[in-house]
Each structure stands twice: as structure tokens, then as C-alpha cells.
Structure 1
Amino acid sequence: MSDTTRTFAAIVIIYNPNSTGNAPKLAEQLRDELRGLLPYRPDIELQPTGHAGHAVMLARDAAANLHDVLIVSVSGDGGYNEVVNGVMQSGNPNAVCAVMAAGNANDHRRTTGTMPLAEAIALGRTRHIDLMRIHTGQGPDAPGEYAHSYVGFGLTPVMAIDLEKGSKGALKEMFSVVRTFSKFQPFEIRQSDGKHRKFDSIVFANIAEMAKYATLSEADDKLSDGKFEVVIFPHMPKWRVLLKALRATTQGLGEQPSVSSYEFTTLKPLPYQVDGEVKSVDAGTFVKVESAPAALPTLG
């Protein structure tokens, strides 16, 4: 979808006051910078979150009730995930989202950002990006939520979060991989052809990199092609899994297959991660991940 230029009647900046990345100060700095930079005078509001999931409510209410609104998340990937889901729940296709990196990790901003956020807001040049949607269960009441960057099962997403918590530097990240690797076992699922297969990791990715050093794929234009990449580690001897994981932190994994939908059924309770946030599904749960093409207007 082509770019459009927007001005905003309201800008809502959502942040976690207890963020490890100094989100309150960053939010205030962004507000002050916008007041001096924008040639028009939008209503700029700071909204701190009070508990887990609060950003979903704040973003949903802002998108549903404010005209020409930009909603900025000053957060890591998990906080931005809440804001994106709130905007999508609002049913307002014109609400624009943006993210300023704060907190533990923001792979989305790091891999997709094109310019300083305040400058991007002043230019007002929006673009539409794909999201992914994961459904757990079947039927009209089956839970579903959006991901802006990745959905992961097994070793790789947990390894990536552990990397982000570790010390900086590629060599130390490799030691983090080794430490985390020893804790995980393969999981078995029933795929859409009815066959049972074991995996060490499956990651569905809208972005090419996770946790600074883990390069998942080399696909171009990943955010607007109506597909996502599927990065699979089938079950294999541990030394081979380790070598592949280390390759992700150094050389990258190379080109990966891309699809618009992927589905399977769990055989045992299974944890997974959506943009870094840990979830879980019960045994016997139908899981479907699908692309939501051009679903989110954004800038920056």
C-alpha cells in the first residue's frame, strides 16, 4: 500500500513507568520535542500503564474514541505488542501506531526503523505493514492475537530472549546460547497432513533479526509482502542444534521459506512466545498463524 502523509489531532504516548529502559524520561522527551517540532498543535497526552495488559486497554480506547490519532508505544517488543493489539481491537483502520525503543528489547524498532521518531512524526509519512495473527483453538470464540514481529515455539525464541538479558558482545551471546540450550527438550505436534513430527524450534517471523545477533532470514520487504518466514529446527542431535543456533548468532541462517498461513495441533501443553511475551496452549489445541496483510498503519 502506498505511503500517505498525515497530521494528527491527537498523539497518545503510552509507556511503562517501571520500565528498565527509562521509558518515563523518553516519553517526556518525545512530547517536548514534538511540541517544538510540529508546525501544528495536536493534543499530546502521556499515559503510563498500571499493570500487565493495561496498554491494550489504553490503546484500544484511544483508537476508538480519538479522531486522527497517533499512538506511540515507548517500550520493548512486549509493550508494543499490547499497543498493536489494542489498536486492532478498536476496529479503527486509520489509527496510526509507532514505537520508541525502551525496556529490555525492541527488535521491531531496531530492524524496521528508518529515521528518528520525532522527525518521522513531523513528516507524517505513514506506511502499512503486515502483522501476523495467531489463533489458538477453533470456532468463532477461539482466542486470537496479533504479533508485529514473531511467534515462536521451542528453543529459538527462548534463546533469543536469554541473549537479550545477557551481556553485550557476540562472544558472550554465544555462551548464552550454550547455557540456554541445555535446558530445552524437543516438542511434537500433529501437522496439517496428519503426521506427527518432532521439532526443536519453529519461529514465524515478520522481521529478519531477533535479539541483536540472531539473524533468522535474509528476505527483503518482509513487512509488506503478505507472508512471513518460517524458521524450522527439526529435531536433531544436540550438537547439530547447537551449531545451527550459533550460526544464527554469527552468520545468520540464510534464506527461509515464506508462507501466508501455517497450522498444526499440539499433542502436549506447549509454551510459546509472541513478540517476547510468554504464553501457553493446552494439549490438543489447534494453532493457526496467518498473515494479516497491510493491517497496521505506522511510521518511523
Structure 2
Amino acid sequence: MSTTRTFESIIIIFNPNSTGDAPKLAADLQAKLARLLPYPADVTLQPTAHAGHAIELARDAASSGQNVLVISVSGDGGYNEAVNGVMQANNPNAVCAVMAAGNANDHRRTTGTQPLEEAISEGTVRHIDLLRIRTGDNADAQYAHSYIGFGLTPVMAIDLEKGSKGALKEMVSVMRTFSKFKPFEIRQSDGKRRKFDSLVFANIAEMAKYATLSEADSHPADGKFEVITFAHRAKWRVLLSAMKATTQGLGDQPSVSSYRFTTLKPIPYQIDGEVKSVDAKTPVTIESAPAALATLG
């Protein structure tokens, strides 16, 4: 279900030190909106000053109570910050959207329907689900627009951040990490301990530019998410599964509305490209937040 909206305020958040083209894309979008919008609106550029600043900027913008549109010109990680800021504001009139910039934006690539400036001008707003994760009994919720991954996904991301950019160097870095990788063990909600190489909760069907996680009838507004598991196995079998994901896809995966487990040791996880960690003996709850985010594009 979609509605047509106009906006009093449009805030375009971007990283001015981006290695990509975020500053130029943000300025170009501001200029296009000045020409295309059929109504007056305050369109403001908001550069970030430090890591996590996009959360603050998005929260402050969405807390105004106005019909506000928060745009993140970024990759998946930057958009994750904007989404979490908007969710913290708890403003039902706030809309959040993304313009792809930086290294990768799996969310925009898999869910985009039309050029962003056209969608804003037309004002057709739709609602999509988010993934909500809590790590600990009284922890505040964090939200993911696309995926949350434990195991190989965050470990490789950490190593890539330490290394240099470039396809060949990235490949060497990934292979080095993979050769040293060890599985992780959790206690599931039924009390059984299980060992995994990878555990991914996905709100979209693709990630990492090329990997097709699921061919189920998934949709980011169906109240469910897919669970993609790689139980611990020989490394050559993990490599085969990874190759299958990038060539023909992993096939249908189970869809659920919630998933719970308890960590046994400290483990990292990746949430929309951002790497975080959870302590040992911590309950983890991942749920679908149905139709939680108003968006367009």
C-alpha cells in the first residue's frame, strides 16, 4: 500500500570525506529537487563530521514533527545510520530514503523502483519491514534495512577494512581470512548447541553485490525474513556454497518472523555493512518489524 506525500523539509545526509562521489551526488540531488519539486520545500545538505553522526542528524531532523524526508547518500552502512536515527525519533510523518554512493548499496540495488528525484517529486511513499535486533535482556533495539550476519560475513568485513582497497588485494585479504576462520557456536531457543560457519538473517534476496541468498518468494514488506545457515563443515564445502551463491543462488531458504539464540563466546556480527560485537552468554533476539519504515524510490 502506498500514499502520496509532500514534504516541508528534505535533509540530504552525506559523508564529505567519502572516497566515492557522495558529495557531488548530494549536491546534484539538491539541484534536481529545486527544479522538479512542484511545491516549496526546504532542501538542506547535511555533511557528517564523524562516525555515527548520521544517526544524530537523522534523529534530529525526524524529531521536528514535520513532514520530513531524510535522505542518505551513502552505502549500506551510512543508510543504516540514517534508518536508526529516524526510528529513534518515533515520528510517523518521517520518511527515509537512500541514494546509492560509496562501495556498495545492496538495499538500493535490490529494492529501487525509479530514480530517487522522480520518486520524491511524485511523492509516492510505501512502507517496508526492518530487521530489529536486541543483544541482551534490556538492550535498546537496533535496526537493519537489509541483513544481519554472524560468522564469516563480519570476520571478512573486519579484515577488508584493515586492508587496502582494490579487487586483487581484497581477494587476497578474503582468502587469508578464510584460511584462518574458525566456526562459532550458539545455544538455540530449544536449548541445543549448534556450530555454524555463517548465519545470515536477510530482508533482501541479495548481498555483497553478487551473492543471491534466497530464491524464496521474499519481499521486504511481508513481515518475515530469510534465515541462511551454513552449518560447520569442511572449508572446501563452504567455498562451494559461496560459489553457488554468486553463480546460481542458494535456492529457497526458510522464512521466519523471529529468531532467538544465546551466545557462548564473544562474537562479531555485521549489520548492513557495519561491524559490531556481542558479549558471551548474551541472549540475542532478531525480529521482523513489519512496515516499520516509510520510504520511497
The answer to whether residue 89 in structure 2 is matched with residue 90 in structure 1 is: yes
Q: What SS is found at the alignment partner of 1:57?
A: helix
Please report how far the alpha carbon of residue 167 of structure 1 lies from its aligned counterpart in structure 2 after TM superposition.
2.5
Q: TM-score, normalised by structure 1?
A: 0.93
Which residue is 1:49 aligned to? 48
Which residue is 1:204 aligned to? 201
What is the rounded CA distance, in whole Å, between the counterparts of 1:150 and 1:188 in structure 2?
A: 20
Select which of 261, 266, 269 maps to 1:269: 266
Please report how far the alpha carbon of residue 213 of structure 1 lies from its aligned counterpart in structure 2 after TM superposition.
1.0
The answer to whether residue 191 in structure 2 is matched with residue 183 in structure 1 is: no
Which residue is 1:153 aligned to? 150
How many equivalent pairs are there? 294
The answer to whether residue 237 in structure 2 is matched with residue 232 in structure 1 is: no
Q: Say whether the 8 Å CA contact 1:178–1:242 is kept in structure 2.
A: no
Q: Say whether the 8 Å CA contact 2:104–2:209 is kept in structure 1.
A: no
Please report how far the alpha carbon of residue 158 of structure 1 lies from its aligned counterpart in structure 2 after TM superposition.
4.7
What is the rounded CA distance, in whole Å, between the counterparts of 1:123 and 1:160 in structure 2?
A: 37
- After superposition, the Cα gap between the structure-2 partners of 1:221 and 1:125, relative to the gap in structure 1 and judged at 3 Å, is farther
The 5 A counterparts of 1:1-300 are 2-139=1-138, 142-156=139-153, 158-159=155-156, 167=167, 178-300=175-297
What is the rounded CA distance, in whole Å, between the counterparts of 1:221 and 1:245 in structure 2?
A: 20
Q: Residues 213-256 of structure 1: CA distance to partner in whole angstroms, max 9, x if unpaired?
A: 11101133420100000000001111111111111111111110
Q: Say whether the 8 Å CA contact 1:264–1:288 is kept in structure 2.
A: yes
Q: Say whether the 8 Å CA contact 1:160–1:211 is kept in structure 2.
A: no
Please report how far the alpha carbon of residue 132 of structure 1 lies from its aligned counterpart in structure 2 after TM superposition.
0.5
The amino acid across from 1:212 in the alignment is: K
What is the rounded CA distance, in whole Å, between the counterparts of 1:217 and 1:61 in structure 2?
A: 36
What is the rounded CA distance, in whole Å, between the counterparts of 1:173 and 1:214 in structure 2?
A: 16
Name whichever of 150-159 and 73-82 sits farther off. Answer: 150-159
Q: Say whether the 8 Å CA contact 2:14–2:74 is kept in structure 1.
A: yes
Q: What SS is found at the alignment partner of 2:137?
A: coil
What is the rounded CA distance, in whole Å, between the counterparts of 1:125 and 1:196 in structure 2?
A: 46
Q: Residues 31-53 of structure 1: CA distance to partner in whole angstroms, max 9, x if unpaired?
A: 00010111111000000000111
Q: Say whether the 8 Å CA contact 1:160–1:210 is kept in structure 2.
A: no
- After superposition, the Cα gap between the structure-2 partners of 1:158 and 1:100, relative to the gap in structure 1 and judged at 3 Å, is farther
Please report how far the alpha carbon of residue 175 of structure 1 lies from its aligned counterpart in structure 2 after TM superposition.
7.3
Please report how far the alpha carbon of residue 73 of structure 1 lies from its aligned counterpart in structure 2 after TM superposition.
0.3
The amino acid across from 1:120 in the alignment is: A
Please report how far the alpha carbon of residue 29 of structure 1 lies from its aligned counterpart in structure 2 after TM superposition.
0.1
Q: Residues 151-207 of structure 1: CA distance to partner in whole angstroms, max 9, x if unpaired?
A: 0000145557859x6529xxx998776454213110000111111110000000001
- After superposition, the Cα gap between the structure-2 partners of 1:173 and 1:114, relative to the gap in structure 1 and judged at 3 Å, is farther
What is the rounded CA distance, in whole Å, between the counterparts of 1:256 and 1:77 in structure 2?
A: 23
Q: What SS is found at the alignment partner of 2:18?
A: coil
Q: Say whether the 8 Å CA contact 2:218–2:225 is kept in structure 1.
A: no
What stretches of structure 1 of length at least 5 have no aligned partner?
none
| Aligned sequence identity (%) | 74
What is the rounded CA distance, in whole Å, between the counterparts of 1:273 and 1:299 in structure 2?
A: 25
Q: Say whether the 8 Å CA contact 1:166–1:176 is kept in structure 2.
A: no
Q: What RMSD in Å do the two structures reach over aligned CA positions?
A: 2.0
The amino acid across from 2:51 in the alignment is: A
Q: TM-score, normalised by structure 2?
A: 0.94
